[in-house]
Amino acid sequence: MSGVRNEKMYQLRLKMGLSQRQVAEAVGISQSSYAMIEGGHRHPRKEVEKKLADFFGVTVDELFFGRDNHGSRLEEGEPEGGGGGARGSPGD
């Protein structure tokens, strides 16, 4: 890889208020591996790509290839659980 930081991953992690170690533990990789991925020094295996994308609420393409098909959960203001909510539903 080119050594250019994965800005999307970095910004999403900061918005969530998490450390590299916290993200790494959540997806089952070491903190040093996560740091190398976020720092642009290593590209993860496919299964780790998917775990990271799912964790951040974006697609693999958005996270690693800059193809922004839709916003992340945080950008959309959706709660982390992503539950159906009451948008547009009639009241009681």
Task: Quick: pLDDT tens for 41-75.
Answer: 999 999 999 999 999 999 999 999 886 654 444 44
Q: What is the pTM of this model?
A: 0.70
Query: How far is the C-alpha of 44 from the C-alpha of 79, rounded, in Å?
Result: 27
Per-domain residue ranges of the chain? 7-76
Determine contact, residues 70/77, Cβ cutoff 8 Å.
Answer: no
66: phi then psi, degrees, rounded to nearest 5: 70, 15
Task: Indicate the pLDDT class of residue 90, thresholds 50, 70 and 90.
Answer: very low
Task: Indicate the pLDDT class of residue 18, thresholds 50, 70 and 90.
Answer: very high
CA end-to-end distance (rounded Å), the chain: 55
Burial of residue 18 (CB within 10 Å: 0-12, 13-18, 19+) is middle
CATH number of 7-76: 1.10.260.40
